[in-house]
Amino acid sequence: VKSEGPKLVPFFKATCVYFVLWLPTSSPSWFSALIKCLPIFCLWVFLLAHGINFLVSHRSASRILAGLIFSAVGDAFLIWQEQGYFIHGLLMFAITHILYSSAFGMKPLDLKAGLLMGLVSSCCYAFLYSYLSGPFTYLVAVYIALIGFMGWRAVAGVQLCNDLWTWTKLSACIGAMLFMVSDLTIALNKFCFPVPYSRFIIMATYYAAQMLIALSAVESRDEEDSRKRS
């Protein structure tokens, strides 16, 4: 944590800038898109600071970086969601969840966690279903399946019962859960009913989720250092 903390200072500053400026969503602009995406840009820099060779040689880290890139594009689309770009943003974040799932891997499998995440995802969709219409009926279903799968792979990696967890795997797990909270708040606010302080909840959980998932990429380097010491 001490070694990674200073690299995250630009991210925290950029996040503060977003919440201080708090640009109105009613007047989308390239400037508001830049301010919204700036913390994610800083997470790109955080991963790149570990070296290009590190990213090239560790697929999980490079996939998380790719996920952050698609996230930034999705954020930009959502700035203009009232102009018809919501589906475009949804697609970008769907790709992000596929990349994150791939980065977290399929080992250990942990079917119990998968069943639990499947149940939670099904309940969320069942609640939203009556509020959905048109293409959103199946688009939201696919999206929930993808983010639920991503959450499963993040939770499965922790292994608290077997005492095999690491702080980076735990950060991925917490990050995935926060991402789900953020997206569920978006869905409730857009399709169901106004959520009090929705924008703050959405963005606070979203930025925290992305930071924690970016931190989980450091796991690859930690494992490499351990092998060298042994």
Per-residue pLDDT band at 166 (split at 50, 70, 90):
confident
Between 159 and 74, whose confidence is greater?
A: 74
**What percent of the chain lies above the pLDDT cut of 70?**
92
Query: What is the DSSP-derived secondary structure letter of residue 159?
Result: -
Tell me the Ramachandran region of residue 197: left when phi exceeds 0, alpha when psi lies from -120 to 50, beta otherwise: left
Q: pLDDT at position 219, please?
A: 65
HSE (side-chain half, CA atoms, 13 Å) at 220: 22
Q: pLDDT at position 167, please?
A: 87
Identify which of 156, 150, 137 has the alpha carbon closest to the alpha carbon of residue 101: 150
pLDDT in tens, 88-127: 999 999 999 999 999 999 999 999 999 999 999 999 999 9
Q: What is the pTM of this model?
A: 0.93
Q: Write out the H or E segment, with its range, that includes residue 110.
A: none
Between 47 and 166, whose confidence is greater?
A: 47
pLDDT in tens, 41-77: 999 999 999 999 999 999 999 999 999 999 999 999 9
